[in-house]
Amino acid sequence: MLFGMTLNAQLEIDPPVTLEQLVGKGQELPSLPEIYLRVSEQLEDEATTVQQIGNTVQHDPAITSRVLKMVNSAYYGLPNQVSSVAQSVSLLGRERLRHILIGSVLRGVFSGQDNPAFSMQEFWQHSIKTAIIARQLAGQISEIEEPETMFTAGLLHDIGKLLLINKYPERMLAAEEYMIQKRVDILVAELAQIGVTHTAVGEALMEHWGLPQLLIDCARNHHELVHDGPHRTATHLIYLANNLSKYVPPIDDAETRDIVEEIENWDMGYATLETIASACQHADDMVFEVMESFGMVALEISSD
């Protein structure tokens, strides 16, 4: 469970919440940092040099540190230590840096929205595992032109939950309790207890941020069983990764088969049992290192 407690009794239902109340005109919404917007513009402009990009990022020492931690992590497995953001751009390319950057700023966007009833670390663990599984599987799919995009899509797929837990924590607790008691999908439970779903909220928030349509579609559709439209492969991939991230990595084809048979409509013909097992194991191995690189692991202070 994402929440650290349950409700003994179902809440008395207040009037349903609307998207307008959450993300409509005049609502105060979390914003992506100015440095992310500036660097994103530079990454889009081929005339901008890697040195100029590095200089911009280095105006924020905390983000610089996170970017370099991530670049030097085992996740990327570079043979030599990278010491500057400019060098990172040269080695990894602009597209990869863009996706590392959003991971580096995302924790800070919601840093003031922790709630004692909600495990932020558990939330990020699930999001990062989903991201790594999606990225690994995307490498096997010719329809995905930039596999790194799927890491960002996995990272952001549940972002609507963070806004809901900040605004309506008791209703989110009630939704989880309702899901367990009634044995229904979380979206059904959210509609019953809140009036909106985290997928709709995530879609609206990402539109507010001006993020690419592929990422928005993945956030909107990661609970859907049937996938269509221009980003159908990507949205199905996040649907699959989201479900796979909830399991302990399988050790053989038989265990993998048992897992995927619990995921309705898992097979679109691109993921084999072997690649699924490998992606799940890689995610399990890497999740805490990636979380630590992004500043998503709570620090423990020793009493010694």
Which sequence spans correspond to the domains of the chain?
31-109, 114-297
Among 34-43, 112-121, 158-167, 193-202, where is mean pLDDT lowest? Answer: 112-121
Burial (0-12, 13-18, 19+ Cβ within 10 Å), 144 = buried
3-state secondary structure of 147: coil
pLDDT tens track for 78-107: 888 999 999 998 988 998 899 999 999 988
* Residue at token pair 């500057």: 84
CATH superfamily name and code, 114-297: Hypothetical protein af1432 (1.10.3210.10)
pLDDT above 70 covers a percentage of the chain that reads 92
What Å distances lie between residue 148 and 135, 151, 190, 299, CA to CA? 6, 5, 31, 28
State CA 275 to chain mean position distance: 21
pLDDT of residue 22: 84
| Residues in CB range of 165: below 8 A, 6 or more apart | 113, 115, 118, 172
Confidence of residue 239 (pLDDT cuts 50, 70, 90): very high
What Å distances lie between residue 277 and 141, 148, 221, 234, 235, CA to CA? 16, 20, 23, 19, 20
pLDDT tens track for 110-165: 876 667 778 888 999 999 999 999 999 999 888 888 899 999 999 999 999 999 99
| Token pair listed for 275 | 């690649």
**Element housing 138 (H / E):** helix 120-138
| Average pLDDT over all residues of the chain | 89
Check pLDDT > 80 for residue 301: no
Confidence of residue 1 (pLDDT cuts 50, 70, 90): very low
What pTM did the predictor assign?
0.90
| Token pair listed for 33 | 């940092």
| Token pair listed for 99 | 């996706």
Check pLDDT > 80 for residue 8: no
Query: What is the full DSSP assignment across 164-179?
Result: HHHH-HHHHHHHHHHH
